[in-house]
């Protein structure tokens, strides 16, 4: 089941706009509606004011009416098994739960699977704070 997310993330990475960092990243989410939503990092001249691939994918998911991340894949062209940055981890946690699987990929496929709890232990919890 994770292979289609890997393919979608890799495809999204091709749309990255990374002229400053030269570090293309792609992300793909499977939401509770069963659909896959993708994103790529998008930089601008006011570096680092661009946005990462993960919130781009989250934005597509939210704008389509879905609200929950079931699983997610992340791939970077120049860093195998590139994990989401700290800010993105909190953004993902907003729409995921502790058991949500995050797949870290290289150019050949999924190489490591982590849960959100492993990725962001002792995090703010939406149901407690919200």
What are the residue boundaries of the structural domains of the chain, listed by start?
A: 1-119
- Position 126 scores a pLDDT of 62
Q: What is the pLDDT of residue 48?
A: 74
Rounded (10°) angle between helices 53-63 and 2-13: 110
Q: Residue 88 annotated as binding?
A: yes
Quick one: pLDDT band at residue 7, thresholds 50, 70, 90? very high
Q: Domain 1-119 belongs to what architecture?
A: 3-Layer(aba) Sandwich (3.40)
105 is in an annotated binding site: no
Q: How confident is the model over 74-90, as pLDDT tens digits?
A: 999 999 999 999 999 99
The mean pLDDT of the chain is: 94
Predicted structure pTM score: 0.93
> How confident is the model over 28-87, as pLDDT tens digits?
999 999 999 999 999 998 877 899 999 999 999 999 999 999 999 999 999 999 999 999
Active-site residue flag, 77: no
Q: Is 82 annotated as a binding residue?
A: no
Check 7, 32, 54, 94 and give the catalytic one.
Answer: 54
């Amino acid at each position: 089941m994770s292979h289609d997310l890997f393919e979608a993330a890799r495809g999204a990475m091709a749309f990255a706009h990374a002229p400053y960092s030269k570090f293309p990243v792609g992300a793909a989410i499977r939401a509770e509606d069963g659909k896959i939503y993708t994103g790529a990092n998008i930089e601008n001249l006011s570096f680092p004011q661009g946005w990462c691939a993960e919130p781009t994918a989250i934005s597509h998911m939210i704008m389509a009416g879905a609200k929950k991340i079931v699983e997610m894949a992340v791939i970077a062209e120049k860093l195998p098994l590139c994990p989401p940055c700290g800010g993105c981890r909190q953004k993902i946690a907003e729409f995921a739960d502790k058991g949500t699987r995050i797949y870290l990929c290289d150019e050949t496929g999924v190489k490591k699977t982590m849960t959100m709890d492993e990725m962001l232990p002792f995090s703010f919890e939406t149901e407690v704070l919200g």
